Structures are given as structure tokens and as C-alpha cells.
A and B are shown apart, each in its own frame.
Chain A
Amino acid sequence: MPSALEQMSSSVSNAASVLQETERKTGRKMIGFFHPVVPEELIYAAGLHPVRLFPYFDDLITVGDSYLQTYLCSYLRADWDQIIKGRYPYLSGAIIPRSCEAVTFLYQTWKRHNPYQFVDYINVPWKRTENAISFFAKELGRVKKDIEKFAGKEISEDSLRNAIKVYNRNRELLKEVYDLRKAELPPISGVETHNVVMSSFILDKEEHNELLEQLLTELPRRPRHPKADVRLLISGGCVIDTRLWEMIESTGAVIVADDTNNGSRSFWHLVEDTTEDSLKALARGYVMVPCAFNTSIEDRFKYISEMISEYKVNGVIFAINKNCESEKFVYPELNKKVKDKMNVPTLNIETDYLIDMAPLRTRVEAFVETLRA
């Protein structure tokens, strides 16, 4: 029987066929979404299958550029390019949050060109106050009604509570995996962890929970990696190109933590199981997701500095996608704080869809060398 890691990595490299097969076997409609600020539990509780939308890294952007200018995020342009080329045949719709201008516009383009049956927009507040949480709960109530209409069934309080339970279990298990990386000899590499989290955006959450439980029994029995003399944290928005993680770790450094949309930000904060209604609980949990667009520099620094201390990080690589305005805007002040207050060296590299890794490798190698010196 393949190990949990093998199964998870395989689901990431064969995402399209895995999703098509899941749709065929379960009959559940699939709803795509961008960014970890969309409460997946609402989709899951309606008997639908949530899928995080990322582009496949195998196709030049050929059609998308006539809709979205080249100075917008290349990952989003690649996504839209592949959507209109029919690369996501398993999708039935999407939920798009208010984040950057490009994502917001994609909602409007999606609605106008209507490649699938359903599309909705969520106003995510950019504050964490009670007023913002109450607003967000009402907004989620509006979206819940839209999903119910599309799914043709009511989302009961019980099904929502169950979804929160399943998702919280997933968050706890992922955090347990992350905790293992605090060790002097981490039993799992950054590339492998990347695949573990990425597979959670593809597989059914209960199935993913089972795989995580299997993984947590397998990891302690695994031969340990050599001592990680250079322990890195990767910070950026969508650091979704597996080649980048592989390239960084090919220098001998180990990525022990991350501050990315496709990594820790997706599961770090639990949706607290309280007596208040489920929508309010979801709102309270999801306003804490520390994406660049909705989070202050102070809160981002708190998040990243705690990780640096807990995971004994001795170097930070900011890997920010070209034209990711939110991340680029936060970087100068955040970088200054990391260097000055945490006394940790940093490197800034710019990523892009289908970028050549060779020039980046030279810079990462030099950075890792300086950390070893």
C-alpha cells in the first residue's frame, strides 16, 4: 500500500484526473474558490466538493491575456486562461472573495462569460473587530442562501456544525504535521509538506483527515533527514509552483515553516466551536486568516515572528509573485521588521508563472551559503 505521502503527492501531480474521478464516483458538484478566506465549510455542508483553484503548470497563457492585462498576477491569468480553455471540466462554479483587484475583476469576467453554472462573490472584511465579524456573518448568510439555491438543498445547522468539525480536525492534523518540523531533525521536508497541504485543496476533507492520521503514524518510523543546518521560512502569497520548493531544498536547506496562502495561512486558525451560531463562528475564524490584502503589517509580523521563534528559523525567503501588489506592498516594512527585530537574514525573489528556475537558484544558493558561513 502506498504511503500517505505518496498518495498525497500523487493527488497533487494528478489533480485533474483525481478531481474528475472524485466527481464521477461521488456525484458531488465541485465549486472552485480562490484564497484561504473563503469558508469552505459552507460548500462542504451543502454536499458539494470545494476545490482551491490553481493553474496547471503546463500551459502557456494564450487566450487569457485578451481579458486580463499582462501587468496583473500571472497565476490568476493562467487560471482564467485554463478556465476558458476548458481545463477544469469537473467544475460547476466558483466562489470569489474580495481580495486584490484582479480577483475581484475575475468575478465579473466569470459572470459575464459564464463558463460554469454558478458564481458568487464574498465581501471579506479587512478588519477583525466585532462590527466586521457581525457583518461577515451576515455576508456568509447571504452566500449560504445562494449556495442552497444552487445545490437545491438547505444547509442545516447540524450539517454546518459537522463541516466545521471535519475542517477543524483537518486544521489540527496539519498543525501536528507542522509541529514535527520544529525538531532539530525534521522528519518531513518542505517539498513534502507543500504536497501535504496542497492535497487538502483537492481531496475530500474526511479522506484527507484519514491520510493525515496515517501520515502521523508513518513519519516517526521514517529515517530522519540529515541535520537541517539552514532552516528556512518561505513567505509570499501563492507559492504554488512545486519546482520552487524543490529548487530551494536542492541547495541543502530545509524549509521548516511558511507564511503562504497555500500553506499555513490556510489552516492556522481554528473555527472555534462555541455556542454562537455557526455563521458567526465561521466569520470569527476566517477574519483571522492572515493574507496580505486583509492583514496589517503588525499582525503579519506577529504571525511570522512567532513562527521564526518556534521553528528556529535562521533565514526567510520572500517569494512573491510578479504583480502581486498586496504582497509587494507589505514586503518593505515587513522585511525591515524581520531583519531588525528578529535579526534574521532575508532574501527577496520574484516568481512568475512558468518562470525559469536557474537565475533564482543562483540567488538562493548564495543566500544559503551566507547562512551557513
Chain B
Amino acid sequence: MAEKKRRERPAFNTDIAAAIGKHYKDVQANKPMAYALMSPNPLVEVAYAAGIQPAFPENYACTCAARHVSGGYCETAEAYNYAPDVCSYCRNHLGYIYGSGESPPMGGIGEPDLLLLTSCACTHYFKWWDALHEIYGKPLIFVNTPRVMEPQSEPVFYMGYAMREIEQAIADINKVMGVKITNDKLSQAVRLSGEVVDYWQKILELNKAVPCPMDLTDLSNALFVLIVLVGTQEGVDLMKKVYDETKQRVAEGKGVLSKEEEKHRLLWINIPFWYKLGMFGRFEDRGCVFPFSDYTQYIWGTTRMDSSKPIESLARKALEGELNTSVDNQIDKLLKDIKEYRVDGVIAHSNRSCRILSVGVLDAVRIIRETLDIPTLVLDCDHTDERVYSDADIMNRIDGFLEMLG
């Protein structure tokens, strides 16, 4: 399947690219700077309220992968004993730290003054940040929250624990960084975060339209705002732009493909191959769009924020995201959204580096296939370590799948 030039993208992608560039400049210039996890991390809003610049090593791994330097960074980390079975986001970052330091993409993400950790996602986050704590010797602030396996019957004390953990984290940040996070500043950050979430939810709703106004690459780009800029006015302004343009596109019947061209609407499960985003252009050439993905839909921007209850809102954010709940919960949502987004085929990335999103993939596709009688394909690969990717194998399987779709 030949890769053709991609179609014209929504204009907001240019604004987001500019915001990404500015973010990396801010990371290099602003002090104090903290490494924060991308997971629905309640400490991002807290950092902005404290005047601390957050930086995101996972997001940086995506950037490095898109620039095709992740394989080298992973190799460096492996030379420092981080085995290939450790997540490639982490190996990318550790390779960046231990590597030669020559011309890192976007100028790099510097050395942190603080480490902001939460447990509302993968197990190895704790291991990663703990290793960074050993390497940099900088204070580690850790919000430990329980995994909510049965969201419908979540014990009341889970919320209490998460709230106390966030309160303690705020007290610790004030102490170690010599800052004062006031209630007003925290409420403001939570209010701004809530506005971003509100726009995002409307955007996801708009993407149900036929033709689909945004593809997975557009949605993935917009995630940057939802992860990195939550709690800032800049984030609100940018997400409003995404919303306004998407609304306009829907009103004009403008899609990634035209109504006539859009033959299939597919679901992508798990994180895309960041070093191979161009592959979605190939799908478009075959009349396929991806109106949603579990990765863009269920992890961030799922919690409505209430600025009058900032701690409770942040605790809810930590507890509610897909990474902190169960595969059953995810499958229920997928079954519902597949119908609502009129999806007629599923491609699932069994991602050896993201176990939390991959452990349920085999069950999920089996249940989707049996319940909805739509074709599914599972691809075994890695989100960042390009060395694992085999173009011939992956494209061969995708071609077979598309032929079956017709």
C-alpha cells in the first residue's frame, strides 16, 4: 500500500505545533521546573497553581519517536541496564539522560527541580520516578491513589484517601519549594482545567459526525492541551480554537475525507506508533478514518471539574481515568461508543511497552467481535521503540484487514 501525501489537516494543528514549541522553550527557561507524569495527574494543576513549570518525559518520548531518535535513546538506556522489557517511554527518557546530550529534539527537557508522581496509572511510574529520584536526588512528591476496579460500587474511603494524599502533596510542595499554593490559585487552576475538559467533551461529541471532522492524529495532537496545559488560560484558549474549528467543519460538512470518500470508520485501540503517524494517511487513501480511540477518549478529560471543590475535583480526576479503572469498564465504554461513532472495524495495538493498556486487548477484541460482529485486527508492536516495528509485517496485516473490510 503506497503512502500518498496526506490531506489538508484542520488549521488548529498549526496552533498546537506552536504551543508545543513554546512549551519546550518554557521548560528550558522557567524555574522551578518539575517532571510530571502524563497520567491524569492531579499535580499538573497544582504545579501551575504553585508557579512551577511542569515537563512531561512521556510526552517528550512521543516527540523523540516522531523525530526517529527513540531507538537510539532506548539503546543507550539498555547499555545502562534498563532491559528491553521496560517501557520504551522510560527507556527513551533514561537514554536521553545518560546519552551524549547532543542536539536533543526540541532542545531537551533539562534537569528537574522536583518530581511529581501519581499512581493512578501504570505500576512502573513509581519505579521510573523513583529511579529519577536516585539519579537527580531531587524531592519526590507522590500521590498514591487506589485502583478503582468496580467504579459502580467504589468504596467511599477511596475518595477520602485520594483527597488526603493531594492535601499532603500540596503541603509538601509548599515546604520543599518554598512556595504558597493558595486556595484562590488552586481554584483558578481547577476552573481553567474544567473549561478545557468541557470543550474536549463537546469536541468528542462533534467527532461522531459523518464525515468525521478529525482523525486520530488530530485528536492525538489536541491531547497535548489536555495533558500539558490543563490549569492555564493558554490551554483554554487553544482548546476553544479546536472546538470552534471542529464545530465549523461539522456545520460545513467538511471531514478528513469527504462524505463520499469516507467508506469505513475504524477504532484504534491503544497508543499509536508515534514514529509512524504517517500510516494514517494510508488508511485515508483507502477511505478509512478513525473517529475515536480509547487512548484519546477515556484517559484524559473525563472528569468534570468543580472549582468550588478543587481537592475533590483533583482526586476525582485521579480516580476516574481509564488507566485507573478496569478492563471491564473500558470494554463497556468501547461497546457503547463503537455504535455511537458508527465504527465498522477495530485495529488493536498490543503494545509491549504499555501493559496497562494492552493486558485487556485480547479479551476486548474477542468481546467486541462476538458482541457486535465486526472485524478486528491485533498488531503486536511498540509505541516508541521503532526498532520493534516491521513495516512489511504490519502493512501486510493491515492490507489483509482492509481487503476483508472491502
**Residues of chain A having any CB pair with chain B under 8 Å:** 66-69, 71-72, 98-102, 104-105, 107-109, 111-112, 121, 123, 125-127, 129, 131-132, 134-135, 138-139, 142, 292-294, 296-298, 322-326, 328-333, 335, 348, 350
Contact A107 B85 (CB under 8 A): no
Contact A332 B352 (CB under 8 A): no
Q: Which residues of A contact B144 (CB under 8 A)?
A: 125-127, 132
Q: Which residues of A contact B326 (CB under 8 A)?
A: 108
- Is B304 in the interface zone, CB < 8 Å from A? no
Interface segment, one of B53-61, B118-126, B201-209, B261-269: B118-126
**Residues of chain B having any CB pair with chain A under 8 Å:** 80-83, 85-87, 90, 119, 122-124, 126-128, 130-131, 133-135, 142, 144, 146-147, 149, 155, 157-158, 161, 164-165, 168, 326-328, 350, 352, 355-356, 358-363, 380
> Once bound together, how far apart are the Cα atoms of A123 and B159, in whole Å?
13
Contact A331 B81 (CB under 8 A): yes
Q: Which residues of B contact A72 (CB under 8 A)?
A: 355, 359
- Asked whether A101 and B134 contact (CB < 8 A) given A127-B142, A325-B85, A332-B81, the answer is no
- Asked whether A107 and B149 contact (CB < 8 A) given A101-B356, A325-B123, the answer is yes
How near does chain A come to B75, taking the closest CB pair, in angstroms? Answer: 15
How near does chain B come to A128, taking the closest CB pair, in angstroms? Answer: 10
> Once bound together, how far apart are the Cα atoms of A330 and B144, in whole Å?
19
Contact A101 B149 (CB under 8 A): no
Contact B149 A332 (CB under 8 A): no
Which of B80, B122, B359 is within 8 Å of A332, CB to CB? B80
Which of B130, B134, B350, B355 is within 8 Å of A325, CB to CB? B355
Which of A101, A125, A333 is within 8 Å of B131, CB to CB? A333
Contact A71 B363 (CB under 8 A): no
- Asked whether A138 and B82 contact (CB < 8 A) given A68-B359, A69-B380, A126-B119, the answer is no
Q: Which residues of B contact A98 (CB under 8 A)?
A: 146-147
Which of A102, A294, A298 is within 8 Å of B359, CB to CB? A102
What are some 21 contacts across the A-B interface (CB < 8 A)? A66-B362, A72-B359, A104-B147, A107-B149, A108-B327, A108-B360, A112-B363, A121-B149, A123-B147, A125-B146, A126-B119, A126-B126, A127-B142, A138-B155, A322-B85, A326-B123, A326-B127, A328-B85, A330-B127, A333-B130, A333-B134
How near does chain A come to B125, taking the closest CB pair, in angstroms? Answer: 10
> Once bound together, how far apart are the Cα atoms of A66 and B361, in whole Å?
11
Of chain A, the residue at the smallest CB distance from B366 is: A66
Of chain A, the residue at the smallest CB distance from B361 is: A69
Contact A67 B134 (CB under 8 A): no
Q: Which residues of B contact A323 (CB under 8 A)?
A: 85
Name the 10 nearest CB pairs between A and B, nearest first: A105-B359, A329-B127, A332-B81, A123-B146, A101-B355, A135-B161, A71-B352, A138-B157, A328-B83, A333-B134
> Once bound together, how far apart are the Cα atoms of A67 and B378, in whole Å?
13
Contact B86 A328 (CB under 8 A): yes
Q: Which residues of B contact A326 (CB under 8 A)?
A: 123-124, 127
Contact B81 A335 (CB under 8 A): yes
Contact A325 B363 (CB under 8 A): no
Contact A293 B83 (CB under 8 A): no
Contact A325 B81 (CB under 8 A): no
- Asked whether A329 and B164 contact (CB < 8 A) given A66-B362, A108-B326, the answer is no
Q: Which residues of B contact A132 (CB under 8 A)?
A: 144, 161
- Asked whether A325 and B124 contact (CB < 8 A) given A108-B327, A127-B142, the answer is yes
How near does chain B come to A296, taking the closest CB pair, in angstroms? Answer: 5
How near does chain B come to A80, taking the closest CB pair, in angstroms? Answer: 11
> Once bound together, how far apart are the Cα atoms of A138 and B155, in whole Å?
10
Given contacts A99-B123, A104-B359, A132-B161, 20 further A-B contacts (CB under 8 A): A67-B362, A68-B359, A69-B350, A69-B359, A100-B355, A101-B359, A108-B327, A111-B328, A112-B363, A127-B142, A129-B168, A139-B146, A293-B123, A293-B126, A296-B133, A325-B123, A332-B81, A333-B130, A333-B131, A348-B81
Contact A131 B86 (CB under 8 A): no
Contact B328 A112 (CB under 8 A): yes
Of chain A, the residue at the smallest CB distance from B143 is: A127
Of chain A, the residue at the smallest CB distance from B360 is: A105
Contact A325 B87 (CB under 8 A): yes
Q: Which residues of A contact B82 (CB under 8 A)?
A: 328-329, 332
Of chain B, the residue at the smallest CB distance from A330 is: B127
Contact B134 A108 (CB under 8 A): no
- Asked whether A329 and B352 contact (CB < 8 A) given A107-B149, A108-B149, A112-B363, the answer is no
Contact B147 A135 (CB under 8 A): no
